[in-house]
Amino acid sequence: MTRGIPIMALAGLLAAGCAAVDLGKEFDLQAFEERVAVGETQRTEVRRWLGEPVSTGQVVRPDGTRMEEWTYYHGTGRLPRLDDARLKYLEIRFRPDGTVDSYKWSGEAG
């Protein structure tokens, strides 16, 4: 349901013509990269560094292990062309004990 809200907002901006777009929430990707330690960093530390995630979910591995997944993203640009668009995206998976299992990101690191 929460994913539909940004799409509806974007559709409204498209109808309005040339407008600035700002989706998600700003976060410091570089600071995360400098601090995170896979297998050691706790959820509470990530929340302290980055704030609340934009969305959360679950990942189920083939062996049945469930991991919590947090997503952070931030995008900006100017409609209708978006030729100045900037986007960064971070996805973090946590082990059942609350430590970082893995993460992936794209976009700007800094």
- How many structural domains is the chain composed of? 1
Inter-CA distances, 69 with 2, 16, 92, 103, Å: 15, 35, 6, 9
Rounded to whole angstroms, the Cα distance separating 96 from 69 reads: 11
> What residues make up the domain containing 14?
4-106
Q: Return the structure tokens found at 15.
A: 């109808």
Q: Residue 89 in contact with residue 103, Cβ under 8 Å?
A: no
Which segments of 17-110 does DSSP mark as H helices, in order?
Answer: 29-35, 43-50
Tens of pLDDT, residue by residue, the chain (110 residues):
444 556 566 555 555 556 777 778 888 888 899 999 999 999 999 999 999 999 999 999 999 999 999 999 988 887 777 677 778 899 999 999 999 999 999 886 54
- pLDDT for position 8: 60
- For residue 56, give the CATH number of its domain: 3.30.1450
Q: Return the structure tokens found at 69.
A: 């997944």
pTM summary value: 0.75
Rounded to whole angstroms, the Cα distance separating 104 from 29 reads: 11
